[in-house]
Structure formats: C-alpha cells, structure tokens
Amino acid sequence: GAGVSQTPSNKVTEKGKYVELRCDPISGHTALYWYRQSLGQGPEFLIYFQGTGAADDSGLPNDRFFAVRPEGSVSTLKIQRTERGDSAVYLCASSPSGTRYTGELFFGEGSRLTVL
Amino acid sequence: QKEVEQNSGPLSVPEGAIASLNCTYSDRGSQSFFWYRQYSGKSPELIMFIYSNGDKEDGRFTAQLNKASQYVSLLIRDSQPSDSATYLCAVFNPIIQGAQKLVFGQGTRLTINP
C-alpha cells in the first residue's frame, strides 16, 4: 500500500498477556518510529529504527517493551505482561530520512490497545 | 517542565476569524519546528514546518518562530469548520547524538464554530 500500515487496528487483551503490534512502513523509508498516545495527550516517543538497528530506544518505558525490525522494513512492537496503564494508541511512523532529516513523519492509523 | 508545552484548550473560534495556537519549548538546541494536525480518531498529519526565525506562510496558515523566546505559533486565517482538530507542536534537535526524534506537545484542541 501507499501509506504506513498498522495491524491490528484494535486489540483488547487481559492484564498479564503478551501483545504484538505490527507496522509496515512506506516502501523505501529507512527510518521507522514508534510512538504511544494516551487520550488527550500528544504522541510520546518510544523507539526509533534506522534500517535494522534501534538507533534510539530511550523512550521505551521499561523492559516489558521491546521492538524489532529484522529486515529493515516491517517492525513489531512487543509488550510482555501487559498492564492497564499500557492502554493507549500505538502509532507507527516512517520517514525517508537518510542523511537529511526533514522532520516529516508519515503516521499509520495506529493500533488501539486496551488492557482489561 | 515539559519539553514542549501547549495549552490543551479547547480553543473556540468563530468561523472566518483568525485562530492563534501557541507552543513553547525548553531545549535551546532545537532547530526544527513542526505543526501537525490530528482529527479525532485519526493519525497526525504535517501541515507546516519552520526552521528560521520569523514568519512562514502557506495558504491560510502562518507559522511564527522566535528562538530567543523559545516560542512557536501557528495562525489560521479565515478559519473553517474543517479546521476543527487537535494541533500538535513538535520540536527536533538534530545535534543530540542518536536522538533522531520529534518531541510533541500535548496538543491544542481547536473548535471552529459556524
């Protein structure tokens, strides 16, 4: 597709369960970002990939959160032992990046996670 | 102190009037500034960016930057009901090693009243 694709669009899980959220960026975009957005708040940075490697994971809240991008395209955000406080919309964004950073991020529609 | 601060609103403006949205930031090394618009239940989309002090105009939108005051604003002229959305201010500092991220404010909810 032409845009950033995220699946699932909605996920309801129980406290303590494991969750995976998938992001398929725009073809050719080397930079990929995960943000988390709670109701009434702006997006909160989680992690940034340049290619296959996590260039900045300073926003991951704790070791229950992990993300991978093994082939430099699709990324998966993994959350272990989910807690009610993890409930939010998880936004993925990509950008062409490279050597010049423009700041324009192309966002997917998000994955809404609800932890009961 | 939050890195990027915005008044959460709601800001209510009559149709046809000028809407003024404000943002302050704490990192003096910030060099790029962005305004994203987010409709309810949708993802953010970029509407303006500015790098230099002064004004930048694009159609009905004007971004204003004052680095000395660490202040950036967005003006929307001839406001339309379709401008009703949350406006997110975002800031980028390219100098910090490895920190290739946009930092967002909490957003200002704007309502244009017909």
CA angle, corner A94, sides to A7 and B73, nearest 5?
115
Is residue A101's pLDDT more than 50? yes
pLDDT tens for B4-24 read 999 988 999 999 999 999 999
pLDDT tens for B41-54 read 999 999 999 989 99
Does A105 sit within 8 Å of B46, measured CB to CB?
A: yes
CB A65 within 8 A of CB A76: no
Using DSSP, state whether B86 is helix, strand or coil: strand
Residue closest to A29 by CA, chosen among A111, A112, A92, A110: A92
Does B100 sit within 8 Å of A31, measured CB to CB?
A: yes
CB B48 within 8 A of CB B56: yes
Rounded distance, CA A111 to CA B36, Å?
19
- Is the CB of residue B71 less than 8 Å away from at least one CB of chain A? no
Rounded distance, CA B46 to CA B59, Å?
14
Mean pLDDT across chain A: 91
Does B34 sit within 8 Å of A107, measured CB to CB?
A: no
pLDDT tens for A1-47 read 589 999 999 999 999 999 999 999 999 888 899 999 999 999 999 99
- Is the CB of residue B106 less than 8 Å away from at least one CB of chain A? yes
